[in-house]
Amino acid sequence: MNKDYDVIVVGAGPAGLLAAGRAASMGAKVLILEKMPSEGRKLLITGSGRCNVTNGATNSEFINHVFPDGRFLRHALKAFNSTNILQLLDKYGVKTIIGPNGRFFPASDKAKDVLTALLQWTSDQGVEIRKGERVEKILTDNSKVIGVKSNGKSFMAGAVILATGGKSYPLTGSTGDGYELANQLGHTIEKPLPALVSLETAGGIAQKLQGLNLKDVNASLWVNNKKIHDLTGEMLFTHFGLSGPIILTLSRFAVNPLQNREKVEVSLDLVPSLKETELDIKLIQDLNNHGKKKIINLLHNWLPASMAPLFIELLMIDADKVCHQISGNERKKIAGLLKNFKIPISHNRSFKEAIITAGGLILSEISPKSMESTIISGLYFAGELINLDAETGGYNLQIAYSTGWLAGESSAKYWKSK
């Protein structure tokens, strides 16, 4: 077979760029085919344009933040981890700073600088990029890759890496093309669902609190009256419901039950630093020390200003009632709402707003040691296309880099062996 290229990479996002650059650095003649008019469109909008480059968690800690099975990434993280991407970016002039919870950002706060560095690196390795190329088929012979067909043209190659992304932010080009290409070759696809996505609420609670940002609050997700997961951190009330870091992470466990029309609720513990008995003691002290104060004003000591009137409404207590008139039963109702402020969830937002995709190519059909298909020889996968997704904090981009690097390295070794 006459080959046009040694390795063809489908997709010019972070996974595709790392895959192509690594394969080329090992001597392979590499072509990237990108269907959009420009590369890395999704990378440019990550972190609201700042780009949370990676997370500095150790490899063993990193996998605890990945679903459904972070252990799949052990070989990929060993091959290329957060230290490696930071070193590569530094070499190309992108200085980084560390933020809360091990998150790294470019010092310039510009995602464009990260993309520019990756494109320069791939160029230096000799990678060719063709844009406006929509791959419609992976070409095979006897269960081995021989090339791809794009826009009606055939490009022959010894290995192919699919790095087409998932379905989140479809305007950037992530429209699920890779799922169909893989499925055509016999790969199984776990239903793609929006992940790291905001949640819509039933009732008017969120709308009344629109714009309120809560920090150090504990949010727990309940499905059919059973607690599924909880996180402490920051969240936001919006015109449609709930958003913010801890809500986005909890959404991973909410979307499937919502699709199945199950009962989903988020419970907020507004004073997570206090146990119920400790809270009751403090409330008794407050009510005794401020006996002539109106209860609405006392609640301002415990809640943001915009939340206090809603509390009074939900508790059905007269806002002008003074503290020494509050009964023991009313005090317990106040404490109960502070520790268990439940909000019914009706829907999740769509792929248009989802940061990442859950689901995708099932892990059992991909070798974790090489990212090669267990069905088609010479076919490799990288990035969001794979059924791996993680919490916010730079983990998802690192998954793209690590799986891309390993796929590129493995494809080059495969090509050399033929």
Confidence of residue 47 (pLDDT cuts 50, 70, 90): confident
Among 319, 349, 379, where does a domain finish? 349
**Number of folded domains that form the chain:** 2
As a whole number of angstroms, the distance between CA 34 and CA 132 comes to: 6
As a whole number of angstroms, the distance between CA 316 and CA 320 comes to: 12
Is the distance from CB of 72 to CB of 368 less than 8 angstroms?
A: yes
Confidence of residue 169 (pLDDT cuts 50, 70, 90): confident
Q: What CATH number does the domain containing 65 carry?
A: 3.50.50.60
Range of the structural domain that residue 65 is part of: 5-194+356-417
Do residues 222 and 168 both lie within one domain? no
Do residues 183 and 323 both lie within one domain? no
The token pair at 416 is 């050399």
Do residues 133 and 11 both lie within one domain? yes
* Predicted local distance difference test score (pLDDT) of residue 418: 79
Over residues 72-94, the pLDDT tens digits come to 999 999 999 999 999 999 999 99
Query: What's the whole-number mean pLDDT along residues 293-303?
Result: 93
Handedness of CA 183, 375, 405, 418 (dihedral sign): negative
Do residues 323 and 403 both lie within one domain? no
Do residues 206 and 169 both lie within one domain? no
Percent of the chain residues past pLDDT 70, beyond the cut:
100
Kindly give the pairing relationship between strand 153-162 and strand 379-381. parallel
Among 349, 382, 400, where does a domain finish? 349
Handedness of CA 409, 412, 417, 418 (dihedral sign): positive
As a whole number of angstroms, the distance between CA 201 and CA 379 comes to: 43
Q: Which residue spans within 196-323 are E strands per DSSP?
A: 199-201, 213-223, 226-237, 241-243, 264-269
Do residues 280 and 316 both lie within one domain? yes
Q: What is the CA angle 335-252-254, rounded to 5?
A: 60
Do residues 254 and 361 both lie within one domain? no
Among 349, 370, 391, where does a domain finish? 349
* Predicted local distance difference test score (pLDDT) of residue 205: 94
Cα–Cα distances in angstroms (integers) from residue 167 to residues 93, 137, 198, 224, 358, in the given order: 32, 19, 16, 28, 9
Do residues 277 and 302 both lie within one domain? yes
* Predicted local distance difference test score (pLDDT) of residue 48: 84
pTM: 0.92
Identity of the residue numbered 389: D
Do residues 175 and 74 both lie within one domain? yes
Q: How many residues does the chain have?
A: 418
Do residues 344 and 212 both lie within one domain? yes
The token pair at 130 is 């063709």
